[in-house]
């Protein structure tokens, strides 16, 4: 068989295009998914920070999202421990936040994860709906005690991420 | 010239095409990596240096840890305290580290709970236990070092109570001034430590303290009506000559039926008792099963329970200073144990940490009544991620079968092996009875490693294996024929080939498995976590934990294989293996 130079080059170009195309499809899938959530930019940060999201499907993305909620929840719980030492006057409110975020990281995330893995997407949504509520409850309790919240950003992020993950889960229904 | 060039380019293009297809199958892809900020990046310890830190075993962020202390449950949280050096990666400056958890797998770290602050613990806050008094009131009793001499320290027991009972984290503890409450008088003042959880009967709280008299191991019994004034019983609770110091004693009831745990004060029918001690000389934890003589207030081991160095161990590997507690929510008896490093002191200082806890285990009595069974708490299964399954895979002599598709350095592997005949099992050599009885299994594992061919076995797993098997940690079974159609099953976790680093301590840990081979099946579960391999034979009949430090078999360069080096073919009836997520611990 005679190999002609132009044919070889053409083949190489085809190969390059296929490679780029496959990468673009992954990215396109994630972008499209995130467009359907309340916070598309925040949504994009979650899978792109996680290697496993390459070739993840919708369920995979949701599971990665649950990990992100749990990560942030544990981070807040650690922040609250530090705050109890540095700002002890906030203790009653911080106790409320401790309680609600322990529910988030343990019950909410765990039940959503199990529901997703078991294919029960309707129940998976409940865990994230509750997580958003718990984050709001923590933030609100500062105001109710006449205090200014030192963790507003953290609370808002969890609320937003939980809503993003909830939206992704709804796409599975 | 052009023709050769074209042919080369064509072949290269074909190769790239194939590789690209394959990589897409495995989900690696060729997407460019992004340097994404920001809010999602957790604090990164330099991962290049920290290849030995665990993903799901408890350890503090840095520095030295040893004994688990006062494990307990209170107001919705499990508590773990631990001997901790806040200043360095070697033992010293000891305080009580503290973490809380909803599931004993993910933890919230808190500030140290008990640090030297009073005359009665000025030189150290050593190990102790928690007792939950009526009304859900926890109290800790611990060993305080009141003087540096006589070495290793003048020891006495003191108590601490929560500063604020409504704090579910119990962050702060207060030490009343009427301490110490238990002082050594005639006892050896520098060997008088590790008070246990107390139990209540006949109007008194009772606890034991570990001690020795020359080479005799002793636990002294103390009684109190009010938990403040303690009186020493005239006789020791239990004692044994020639075993050496008994550290970290533990005494608890165990049900003779079922797998549920019992509250530490439980008495009655269908209740046996476990007495455990950490032997300072051998650095292993031993237990016996026996009965509690209420009249004499003494523990009596069953005659079938070997009491001494050759006795039963929770774990035939790196597992020390263990302690149990009763989980009142799930009605379990939970066992915590510490594994120190097998690396050198200077390596520990360089890496900045030393010591891990093994995964908490549920403990219950084997139906035979003669030994305990252990199994990792099932909350661990929450971390299971990608799964690989294999069924009916034959492994001939000399074969290895690689297990791919999971993160083999952070994994949970559960496998059942079957074989069709016991005929080829090699003979148990009577000369081995010359080995010291307490070291028998370990000695045989040492001379009959995974590369020594056998009849039925060795077969099992090659964990943390490097590409060319320069390094691997084999966990395996080897079956021997003894007299009169009987067999002995040896279970080994052999660190000898684990690392080309010559400085590490690489023991060939082993234990026998008491199992009926008529089923012609043996099961094995291994928890692999970077520098620890924790293995359970036959549903927890024999457990061995190894600490290993491979230099090649790390992260993406590590492999996991099934192997068989015996003339009898072996079948993997079923293998389930999972990547394990990283737990939240710090």
- CATH number at B104 reads 2.115.10.20
Between B277 and B15, the more confident residue is: B277
Q: What is the pLDDT of residue A3?
A: 52
**B478 occurs within a structural domain:** yes
- Rounded to whole angstroms, what are the CA distances from B155 to B85, B128, B183, B277? 19, 12, 8, 18
User: Sign of dihedral through CA atoms B264, B265, B268, B274?
Assistant: positive
Q: How far is CA B538 from the centre of its chain?
A: 17
Same domain, B348 and B405: no
**B318 occurs within a structural domain:** yes
* CA nearest to B21 within chain A: A19
Same domain, B425 and B313: no
Exposure pattern of B456-473 as b/e (b: 16+ CB <10 Å)? bbbbbbbbbbbeebebbb
- For residue B31, pLDDT over 80 is answered with no
- Of B376, B410, B440, the one marking the end of a domain is B376
Which H or E element spans position A7?
A: helix A5-35
Q: What is the pLDDT of residue B8?
A: 63
**B41 occurs within a structural domain:** no
Between B149 and B256, the more confident residue is: B256
Say how far apart CA B284 and CA B286 lie, in whole Å: 6
Which stretches does DSSP call E strand in B242-350?
A: 246-255, 271-279, 284-293, 298-301, 312-313, 320-327, 332-339
Same domain, B277 and B341: yes
Question: Shortest CB distance from A81 goes to which of B38, B40, B108?
Answer: B108
Nearest to B320 by CA among B335, B337, B342: B337
Instruction: Write down the ipTM of this complex.
Output: 0.81
Same domain, B512 and B553: yes
- For residue B165, pLDDT over 90 is answered with yes
Average per-residue pLDDT in chain B? Answer: 92
Whether residue A84 lies within 8 A of chain B, CB to CB, comes out as yes
Same domain, B344 and B469: no
Write out chain A residues lying below 8 Å of B2, CB-based. Answer: 5
- CATH number at B502 reads 2.60.120.560
Query: Phi first, then psi: what are they for B60, rounded to 5°?
Result: -70, 170
Same domain, B395 and B542: yes
Out of 1.10.1420.10, 1.10.1060.10, 3.30.1490.190, 1.20.140.40, which CATH number does the structure's domain A6-171 have? 1.20.140.40
Between chains, do A5 and B2 touch, taking CB under 8 Å as contact? yes
Number of domains in chain B: 2
Between chains, do B34 and A48 touch, taking CB under 8 Å as contact? yes
- Point out the catalytic residue in the list B46, B67, B269, B529: B67
Q: Is B385 a catalytic residue?
A: no
Nearest to B64 by CA among B86, B80, B95: B86
Same domain, B273 and B400: no
Question: Shortest CB distance from A15 goes to which of B13, B31, B106?
Answer: B13
A47 band by pLDDT with thresholds 50, 70 and 90: confident
Find residues 466-505 of chain B whose CB sits inside 8 Å of chain A: none
Same domain, B393 and B359: no
Same domain, B348 and B480: no
Q: What confidence tens digit (pLDDT) does each residue in B69-112 have?
A: 999 999 999 999 999 999 999 999 999 999 999 999 999 999 99
B17 band by pLDDT with thresholds 50, 70 and 90: low
The nearest CA of chain A is from the CA of B6 a distance in Å of 6
Same domain, B524 and B404: yes
Write out chain A residues lying below 8 Å of B6, CB-based. Answer: 3-5, 8
Say how far apart CA B376 and CA B536 lie, in whole Å: 9
Write out chain B residues lying below 8 Å of A26, CB-based. Answer: 29, 31
**B55 occurs within a structural domain:** no
Structural domain for B290, as ranges: 63-376
Write out chain B residues lying below 8 Å of A68, CB-based. Answer: 40
Question: Shortest CB distance from A15 goes to which of B17, B27, B102?
Answer: B17
Could you please report the per-residue DSSP string of B480-539? Answer: EE-STT-EEEEEEEE-TTS-S-TTS---EEEEEE---GGG-EEEEEEEEESSEEEEEETT
Same domain, B372 and B407: no
Size of interface A-B (CB pairs under 8 A): 87
Write out chain A residues lying below 8 Å of B102, CB-based. Answer: 102, 105-106
**B50 occurs within a structural domain:** no
- For residue A2, pLDDT over 80 is answered with no
Find residues 91-150 of chain A whose CB sits inside 8 Å of chain B: 95, 98-99, 102, 105-106, 110, 113
User: Sign of dihedral through CA atoms B197, B199, B205, B207?
Assistant: negative
The nearest CA of chain A is from the CA of B488 a distance in Å of 42
Same domain, B202 and B85: yes
**B13 occurs within a structural domain:** no
Beta-bridged to residue B339, according to DSSP, are B356
Q: What is the pLDDT of residue B37?
A: 31
Enumerate the domain spans of chain A: 6-171
**B438 occurs within a structural domain:** yes
């Amino acid at each position: 068989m005679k190999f002609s130079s132009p044919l070889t080059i053409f083949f190489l170009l085809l190969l390059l295009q296929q490679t780029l195309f496959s990468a673009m499809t992954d990215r396109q899938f994630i972008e499209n998914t995130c467009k359907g959530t309340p916070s598309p930019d925040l949504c994009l940060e979650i899978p792109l920070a996680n290697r496993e999201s390459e070739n993840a499907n919708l369920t995979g993305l949701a599971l990665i999202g649950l990990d992100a909620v749990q990560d942030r929840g544990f981070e807040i719980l650690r922040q609250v421990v530090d705050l109890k030492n540095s700002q002890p006057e906030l203790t009653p409110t911080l106790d409320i936040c401790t309680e609600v975020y322990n529910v988030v990281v343990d019950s909410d995330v765990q039940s959503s994860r199990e529901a997703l893995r078991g294919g029960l997407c309707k129940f998976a949504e409940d865990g994230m709906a509750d997580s958003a509520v718990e984050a709001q409850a923590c933030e609100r309790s500062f105001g109710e005690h006449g205090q200014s919240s030192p963790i507003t950003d953290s609370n808002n992020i969890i609320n937003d991420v939980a809503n993003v993950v909830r939206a992704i889960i709804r796409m599975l229904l | 010239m052009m023709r050769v060039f074209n042919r080369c380019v064509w072949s290269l293009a074909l190769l790239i095409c194939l590789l690209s297809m394959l990589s897409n199958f495995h989900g690696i892809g060729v997407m460019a990596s992004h340097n994404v900020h920001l809010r999602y990046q957790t604090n990164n310890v330099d991962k290049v240096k920290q290849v030995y830190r665990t993903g799901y075993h408890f350890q503090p962020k840095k520095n030295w840890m040893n004994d688990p202390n006062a494990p307990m449950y209170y107001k919705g949280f499990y508590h773990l305290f631990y001997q901790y050096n806040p200043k360095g990666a070697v033992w010293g400056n000891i305080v009580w580290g503290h973490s809380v958890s909803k599931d004993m797998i993910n933890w919230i770290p808190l500030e140290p709970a008990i640090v030297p602050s009073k005359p009665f613990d000025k030189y150290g806050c050593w190990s102790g236990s928690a007792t939950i008094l009526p009304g859900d009131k926890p109290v800790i009793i611990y060993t305080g070092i009141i003087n540096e001499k006589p070495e290793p320290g003048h020891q006495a027991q003191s108590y601490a109570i929560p500063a604020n009972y409504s704090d579910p984290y119990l962050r702060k503890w207060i030490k009343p001034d009427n301490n110490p409450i238990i002082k050594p008088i005639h006892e050896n003042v520098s060997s008088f430590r590790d008070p246990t959880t107390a139990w209540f009967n006949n109007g008194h709280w009772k606890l034991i303290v570990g001690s020795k008299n020359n080479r005799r191991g002793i636990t002294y019994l103390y009684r109190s009506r009010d938990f403040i004034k303690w009186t020493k019983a005239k006789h020791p609770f239990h004692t044994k000559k020639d075993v050496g110091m008994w550290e970290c004693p533990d005494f608890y009831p165990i049900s003779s039926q079922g797998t549920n745990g019992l509250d530490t004060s439980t008495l009655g029918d269908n209740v046996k008792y476990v007495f455990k001690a950490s032997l300072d000389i051998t650095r292993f934890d031993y237990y016996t099963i026996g009965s509690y003589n209420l009249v004499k207030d003494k523990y009596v081991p069953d005659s079938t329970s070997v009491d001494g160095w050759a006795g039963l161990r929770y774990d035939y590997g790196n597992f020390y200073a263990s302690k149990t507690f009763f989980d009142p929510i799930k009605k379990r008896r939970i066992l915590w144990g510490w594994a120190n490093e097998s690396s050198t002191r200077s390596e520990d200082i360089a890496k900045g940490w030393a010591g891990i806890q093994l995964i908490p285990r549920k403990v219950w009595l084997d139906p035979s009544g003669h030994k305990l069974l252990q199994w990792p708490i099932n909350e661990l299964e929450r971390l299971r991620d990608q799964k690989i399954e294999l069924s009916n895979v034959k492994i001939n002599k000399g074969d290895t079968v690689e297990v791919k598709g999971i993160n083999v350095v952070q994994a949970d592997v559960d496998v059942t092996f079957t074989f069709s005949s016991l005929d080829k099992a090699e003979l148990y050599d009577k000369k081995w009875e010359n080995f010291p009885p307490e070291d028998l299994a370990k000695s045989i594992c040492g001379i009959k490693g995974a590369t020594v061919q056998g009849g039925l076995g060795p077969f099992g797993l090659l964990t943390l294996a490097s590409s060319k098997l320069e390094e691997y940690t084999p966990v395996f079974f080897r079956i021997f024929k003894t007299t009169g159609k009987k067999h002995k099953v040896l279970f080994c976790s052999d660190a000898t080939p684990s690392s080309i680093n010559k400085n590490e301590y690489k023991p060939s840990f082993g234990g026998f498995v008491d199992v009926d081979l008529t089923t012609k099946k043996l099961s094995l579960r291994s928890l692999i976590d970077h520098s620890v391999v924790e293995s359970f034979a036959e549903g927890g009949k024999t457990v061995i934990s190894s600490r290993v430090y491979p230099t090649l078999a790390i992260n993406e360069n590590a492999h996991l294989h099934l192997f068989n080096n015996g003339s009898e073919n072996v079948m993997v009836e079923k293998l389930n293996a999972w990547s394990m997520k990283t737990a939240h611990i710090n």
